[in-house]
Structure 1
Amino acid sequence: MRAISVASATLLAATALTLAAPTASAAVADDTETNNNITSFGFRVTPSTIAAGGQVTLSVDGCEGDAKVTSGVFDDAHIPAGQQSVSTQVFPDAKPGAMYEVTFDCKGETGTTDLTIATGRPTSHPTSHPTSHPTGPAHRGVKAGVGGSLGGFDLHEIALGGALIVGTLGTAYYWTRRRTGDGKS
């Protein structure tokens, strides 16, 4: 009789955990759907990780017109029609370890990618590109991380999930103890 009550409690706990899981996976699915970055043209930043003050190459493939590339970490760049790439210098005061969003615009269609600033400084500074930049606010801010393993969840979701688990385990314990008490009489 004891084995049946333990099996019932285990099944109840497993059911509660299963019912709590769709909420978490739905939150992750919403993030991936909004970050859908499919365009009719290809684009890339090479290298994708660079030291502050370093030089990156901005490239587009399949863009029939002029392309404009913007970011908060370098001056706006222009890739003329018929040309596939242009080089630009990252601001020397870019924050090491930060991730900046780079936006490519081809005839009104946009796509984004990330550029990470590595620690350290480049060994040489190119002289063909200016090292100063406007003192106004950045076009796009730093794209920060999502906080490790808790990314995508807020405190309300975590508290609700914890309350469901504790409630389920408490109910299972209560019914297990109650059944055990009935058999002793």
Structure 2
Amino acid sequence: MRAIRVASAALLTATALTLTAPPAAAAVAGEENITSFGFRITPSTIAAGGQVTLSVDGCEHNTKVTSGIFDDVTIPKGQSSATAMVFWDAKPGAMYEVTFTCGQESGTTDLTIVGGHSSGNPTHHPTPHHSRGVKAGVGGSSGGFDAQQLAVGGALIAGVLGTAYYWTRRRTGQDES
């Protein structure tokens, strides 16, 4: 009879821990993109064929900017920006990852493509290029968690474990008397 109670408490504990695992995994997936240098792309939403400005602050090296949506660009040391032309065959509604690399450190941001084409020749035929693909699967996990949410989650886990231990010990004590 005691084995059934212990197994029930273990199952309750395992279930509680399993149900709290997805938020913990989401916290890791949603970590902030923090670097020692600043970077941005302007505008962050553009039509295919448009021109974007790539900016960097605080980088003491040449900055290489790469993406599957435009040719690689190098911002020379001492300069703060460069421009890039978005490929004409960019898919409207797609989000592309743009990587800024300063020395050994990298940071990423997103560039979203809207419908239509920017000014220019709408019959332009795109030149072949290497595509790194579209960034997908971020969903709602990019928001991250703050310390208060992590503390509440930890308190809930501790409460479940404490309750399971209490009920297991209480029932054991009743059987032995």
Give the counterpart of 2:96 among 97, 100, 119.
Answer: 100
Q: Percent identity?
A: 65
| Residue pair 2:52, 2:83 contacting (<8 A) in 1 also | yes
Change (3 A) 1:108 1:148: closer
Letter in 1 for 2:73: A
TM (normalized to structure 1)? 0.61
2:98 aligns to what SS in structure 1? Answer: strand
Instruction: Report what 1:165 is aligned to.
Output: none
Q: How far does residue 56 in structure 1 lie from its aligned partner after superposition?
A: 0.3
Who is 2:51 aligned against? 55
Structure 2 stretches lacking a partner, 5+ long: 1-12, 142-177
Which residue of the partner structure matches residue 136 of structure 2?
Answer: 144
Q: Relative to structure 1, is the Cα distance of residues 106 and 19 closer, same or farther in structure 2, using a 3 angstrom cutoff?
A: closer
What code does the residue aligned with 1:91 have? F
SS at match of 2:71: strand
Q: For residues 120 and 93 of structure 2, what CA distance do their matches in structure 1 show?
A: 20
* Change in 2 beyond 3 A, CA 1:64/1:132: farther
Partner of residue 120, structure 2? 125
Counterpart residue type for residue 21 of structure 2: T
Asked if structure 1 preserves the Cα contact closer than 8 Å seen for 2:89 and 2:126, the reply is: no
Contact 2:40 2:55 in 1 (8 A): yes
Which aligned runs of 4 or more in structure 1 are off by greater than 6 angstroms? Answer: none
Decide whether aligned partners of structure 1 residues 84 and 74 sit closer, same or farther in structure 2, where only a CA change above 3 A counts: same
Number of residue pairs the alignment of both structures matches: 128
Taking the aligned partners of 1:39 and 1:75, their CA distance within structure 2 comes to 23
